[in-house]
Structure 1
């Protein structure tokens, strides 16, 4: 049994799902419709075709991930193979911004709103250590 050859182009929503940016294809479609996905700095619809060499920007929360399309997979690929189909160009500051927001969320507790649960304390300790 041989592997199918990589496609030259594929739908944007299918590509985002195949390279594991989104957990489901419908989430990828919804993100495209909401305007959270751009190709070469242009808003993109879910049916737009993605080709190698293009740059895809995906806004997920406070992070805007930038991905370079290396190749178009024929189907969803395993996590280990994602690097053969796209390159992560997102600056580390973007991921740091998301981490800071998570820390602020847990530290911005209203005074007197109750004692943190054991799970909350462990999570706060984990966030403060890293």
Structure 2
């Protein structure tokens, strides 16, 4: 954490970058402007200052993370230090785990390769056997 932690005045885009939610400040700014970051259920502006105790809902890809702000920093440090800036809520962790499981289940319905010759024979044999009722 930086010396600015005592001042506790940092813009939300800078904090999101320092907490390693986004790779660059411009990506953090774009996410905020697109409505992917909410504070206490409300859309926020890039210039909003972050404060300890705020609850943020951040969309990253398919996932939403709900985090509580524990500390303020405007310096991007190592990942271990960045994880000390926030705590993800247990509900958010459970929701993300459930969504991940659903996505994985959907991917099982679509194999990642086309059937090879042996697998095609097995498919045809299965279809022939099921179709004849035997």
**Cα root mean square deviation, aligned:** 2.3
Give a deviation string over 1:12-55, Cα, whole Å, max 9, x none: 11111100111222221111111111112111122211111111
Task: Assess, with a 3 A threshold, how the Cα gap between structure 1 residues 16 and 31 changes in structure 2: closer, same or farther.
Answer: same
Structure 2 equivalent of residue 66 of structure 1: 66
Structure 1 equivalent of residue 34 of structure 2: 34
* Comparing 17-26 and 92-101, the one that deviates more: 92-101
Tell me whether 1:4 sits opposite 2:7 in the alignment. Answer: no
CA distance in 2, matches of 1:28, 1:90: 24
CA distance in 2, matches of 1:32, 1:20: 15
Secondary structure of 1:23's match? coil
More helix by share: 2
CA distance in 2, matches of 1:13, 1:39: 13
Q: Please report how far the alpha carbon of residue 84 of structure 1 lies from its aligned counterpart in structure 2 after TM superposition.
A: 2.6
Given that 1:4 and 1:74 are in contact with CA atoms closer than 8 Å, whether structure 2 keeps it comes out as: no
**Runs of 4+ in structure 1 over 3 Å off:** none
Give a deviation string over 1:98-121, Cα, whole Å, max 9, x none: 3224413432327xx7249xxxxx
Q: Which of these two proteins has the greater Rg computed from alpha carbons? A: 2
Structure 1 equivalent of residue 76 of structure 2: 76
Secondary structure of 2:3's match? coil
Q: Please report how far the alpha carbon of residue 61 of structure 1 lies from its aligned counterpart in structure 2 after TM superposition.
A: 3.4
| TM-score, normalised by the number of residues in structure 2 | 0.71
Secondary structure of 1:75's match? coil
Tell me whether 1:15 sits opposite 2:52 in the alignment. Answer: no
Task: Assess, with a 3 A threshold, how the Cα gap between structure 1 residues 29 and 105 changes in structure 2: closer, same or farther.
Answer: farther
Given that 2:4 and 2:72 are in contact with CA atoms closer than 8 Å, whether structure 1 keeps it comes out as: no
Q: List aligned pairs for 1:38-117, cutoff 5 A.
A: 38-91=38-91, 92-109=93-110, 114-115=114-115
